[in-house]
Structure 1
Amino acid sequence: MALIGVEGTLTDVKDALKERGHQVVDLHSEEDVDQCDCCVISGQDKDVMGMSTISTDASVINADGYNAENVCQMVEKKLGI
């Protein structure tokens, strides 16, 4: 099962992903990103948790301008679900 990291302010996205059966964790630190297969950020702060220079193999989705359903669809497409 894929692990999806979601920025803390995106409560609606976290809830929607959980309802769809996904395993979701809050992104609080660099270590949280390391374990995720996909990360969802709000896009409000381009330097999320000071992580502007962190590279990750995980897909990163910017949720800015999208509703929770759109974000869920983007996550599932990135993960091939």
Structure 2
Amino acid sequence: MDRTIAVEKELTPVIQYLSEKGYKVESIEFGSDYSKNIDKYDAVVVTGMNKDFLGMQDVVSKIPVIEARGMTAEQVYWQLNTSLKQ
């Protein structure tokens, strides 16, 4: 699988699970530094604790953003696969 997924560093189980499933995963801390490079990822997984995860409230991106709050690593994986197929 040639997909690169950005995952908030707090989501260690998700990082491990997605890596095991063949995704290239980058564990990152979101902030304004990532907003300009966000399009290098195929998707982003966030904790959901910070709605303004890119440091900008009105960022427009064509990539899926998965909010992992309340989800298992497997649920995130299935949501990610569904989002990437669209």
TM category (shorter chain) comes to 0.7 to 0.9
- For 1:68 and 1:32, the matched residues in 2 are separated by 25
- Conserved 8 A contact 1:5-1:32: no
- SS of equivalent to 2:60: coil
What is the TM-score with the length of structure 2 in the denominator?
0.81
User: How many residues in Structure 1 have an aligned counterpart in Structure 2?
Assistant: 80
Can you give the 5+ residue segments of structure 2 that lack an aligned partner in the other structure? none
1:65 aligns with 2:70: yes
Give the equivalent residue in structure 1 for 2:18.
17
Can you give the 5+ residue segments of structure 1 that lack an aligned partner in the other structure? none
- For 1:32 and 1:20, the matched residues in 2 are separated by 24
Deviant stretches of 4+, over 2 Å: none
Cα offsets for 1:41-66 (capped at 9, x unmatched): 11011122514322211011111110
What is the TM-score with the length of structure 1 in the denominator?
0.85
Give the equivalent residue in structure 2 for 1:56.
61
Distance 1:61 1:24, change over 3 A: same
Distance 1:48 1:2, change over 3 A: same
Q: State percent identity of aligned pairs.
A: 32
